[in-house]
Amino acid sequence: MPKQEGQKSKLLALLRIFETQTDENHLLNVPQLVGLLEQQGILCERKSVYSDIDALNALGYDIQLRRGRGGGYFLASRTFDLAELKLLVDAVQASRVVSSATSRRLIRKLEKLCSNYEGSQLQRQVYVDGRPKTDSRSLLYSIDALHEAINTGRMVEFHYKKVGRPEKRVISPWQMAWENGCYYLIAYQDEKEPVGIRHYRVDRMSGVRVLELPRRGREQFANFDLPAYLRKHFSMYGGPERRVTLRCTADLENAMRERFGASPTFLPEEDGRFHFDVPICVSEPFYGWVAGFGGKVEVLAPEDVRTGMRALAEQLAEEHR
């Protein structure tokens, strides 16, 4: 092997040793490094290892020396620190729409971003409300195709499963959102009535294909506010959009701010309660959300939404006699 090629191989082997077998709590001295290189069939002198460490530092790798008893060299800085990797692993484990097999594969890849010792801490199990993870193997490819379509401004075709057989859809993708543990595609559809902005759960899509057709809906998305769109859809259910007036007890001010943001104006009342107006896509999950506050939230207007709330209350009362 030519000397230059052998030196490159040695540097790569040494770097891999630092990446996999060292961290702040696990150091290697030069004799140990020489021994690990010899196990890979790379013979070298101690003094050459010092030069190699200098070369790796010059290339941007943060290899530090801790002096004293039990001291040695270790890779001090990585792309992600252990706490960040744990956070990513938790997110992967907690996601309902990432299959168990895909979760394991992603976590194995994340393990390669830290030492072997720290990698053992990444096999964490996150409890997620007893909900099963999806068995979809195509989700990542669907997400990739949708991002490609959004970035290139093209339409997409896919089959969408809600109830019964999957239906073929051809729509114009504009944004992706993460809500309630699921990916959603926010898109413009004009293939059937009513025409307008719609959202689709990505894990219910199959056979996503990017078309050559330029996407439509530019005018509709010119001033589109994604956070506002997500706030008015409860559990991402659709429904007729109405301007709803809600009256709440004083102790719910923080809860309402967390749900609706800073835009609504809270108007105080003499008894300590307050009311405000917000746009809502009225649906059963919305009525359920109101009921969940146990009478602390009241729908004041419009009358048809108030009537819907009352009808739900009467139905529940009848069913629980």
Q: Which residues contact 45 (CB under 8 A, 6 or more apart)?
A: 34
- 33 and 48 share one domain: yes
C-alpha dist (Å) from residue 206 to 214, 256, 280 = 21, 37, 30
- 233 and 270 share one domain: yes
E-state strands within 4-145? 63-66, 72-75
Write down the pTM of the prediction.
0.71
- 220 and 232 share one domain: no
State pLDDT tens for residues 188-236. 999 888 899 999 999 899 999 999 999 999 999 999 999 999 999 999 9
Where residue 77 falls among pLDDT bands split at 50, 70, 90? very high
- 184 and 219 share one domain: yes
Where residue 1 falls among pLDDT bands split at 50, 70, 90? very low
How many whole angstroms separate alpha carbon 73 and alpha carbon 64?
5
In this prediction, residue 131 carries a pLDDT of 54
Last residue of one domain, picked from the residues 199, 224, 249 = 224
In this prediction, residue 134 carries a pLDDT of 65
Do residues 30 and 126 touch, judged by C-beta distance below 8 A?
A: no
- Is the per-residue pLDDT at 179 higher than 60? yes
Where residue 182 falls among pLDDT bands split at 50, 70, 90? confident
Last residue of one domain, picked from the residues 224, 240, 268 = 224
Is 104 part of any domain? no
Chain length of the chain: 321
Last residue of one domain, picked from the residues 196, 224, 252 = 224
Domain range for 55 is 3-75
How many whole angstroms separate alpha carbon 224 and alpha carbon 281?
16
Is 166 part of any domain? yes
Is 89 part of any domain? no
How many whole angstroms separate alpha carbon 131 and alpha carbon 127?
9
- In this structure, what CATH number is given to the domain that contains residue 216? 2.30.30.520
Is 108 part of any domain? no
- 216 and 247 share one domain: no
Work out how many domains the chain is built from and give that number: 3
